[in-house]
A and B are shown apart, each in its own frame.
Chain A
Amino acid sequence: GENVEQHPSTLSVQEGDSAVIKCTYSDSASNYFPWYKQELGKRPQLIIDIRSNVGEKKDQRIAVTLNKTAKHFSLHITETQPEDSAVYFCAASSMNSGYSTLTFGKGTMLLVSP
């Protein structure tokens, strides 16, 4: 089955700096890669996703890149703000019993200091 590795597990940055979170996946058939943001005590929220026919996608201060050859994808947050502090999860689609599910990374706790 699919295996998703996420690094780093924690990331501390100063407000205004950029933050990068990286994930690798094992199943070359995976074709959908979402990122979720989870604030303390809240639900994971889908913030951006990328499909395998695209190499990069951007939405305001966040962007995701995908390298299918190397089987890794990354989340980039520019001009970080304290409200970006949260746990971020990457995921990759995988086929399970003939149906598609998501396999999640372990998460990265991002702390943005004012």
Chain B
Amino acid sequence: DARVTQTPRHKVTEMGQEVTMRCQPILGHNTVFWYRQTMMQGLELLAYFRNRAPLDDSGMPKDRFSAEMPDATLATLKIQPSEPRDSAVYFCASGLAEGTRRYEQYFGPGTRLTVT
């Protein structure tokens, strides 16, 4: 049963520190999405990639957030410097952009980030 994996699962850091979250999409999937989940805002789309190319990152605060896909098996989301308002659960999801299963997205277990 193929699944999206994310590391770390939990991260506690102090304000101003750099945070890096990693995601391994399901093998063969060509789209990757980063979401942030909070009680107030629900699931917000931060950025997404297709075939490792960034398509849209308009949901991210550009001055502190960055997302990359160094290769097909790794996506990263970085926050530098982190702030308390960044505390949330960050989910990665992957999917296929074509065929009968297009649009389907499968989520990883999330990274729970706490910035003190």
Contact = CB atoms under 8 A, between A and B. Distances in A.
A46 B91 CA distance: 14
Contacts of B56: 96-97, 99, 101
A102 B91 CA distance: 14
Of the candidates A43, A46, A107, the one having the most CB atoms from chain B within 10 angstroms of its own CB is A43
A107 B104 contact: no
A105 B106 CA distance: 17
Of the candidates B33, B42, B55, B56, the one having the most CB atoms from chain A within 10 angstroms of its own CB is B42
Given A44-B43, A106-B42, A101 B33 contact: yes
A3 to B, nearest CB: 13
Contacts of B43: 44, 89, 104
Of the candidates A36, A44, A97, A107, the one having the most CB atoms from chain B within 10 angstroms of its own CB is A44
| Interface residue range, chain B | 10 to 19
Contacts, number: 48
Q: Is the interface of B mostly helix, strand, loop or mixed?
A: strand
Contact of A46 (B97, B102, B106): B106
Q: Is the interface of A mostly helix, strand, loop or mixed?
A: strand
A100 B102 contact: yes
A74 interface: no
A32 B110 CA distance: 24
Contacts of A103: 45
B103 A102 contact: yes
18 contacts: A32-B102, A32-B103, A34-B103, A34-B104, A36-B107, A43-B107, A44-B43, A44-B91, A45-B107, A46-B105, A93-B103, A96-B55, A101-B45, A101-B48, A104-B42, A104-B43, A105-B42, A107-B42
Given A99-B48, A102-B105, 9 more contacts: A32-B102, A36-B107, A44-B91, A93-B103, A100-B97, A101-B48, A102-B45, A102-B103, A107-B42
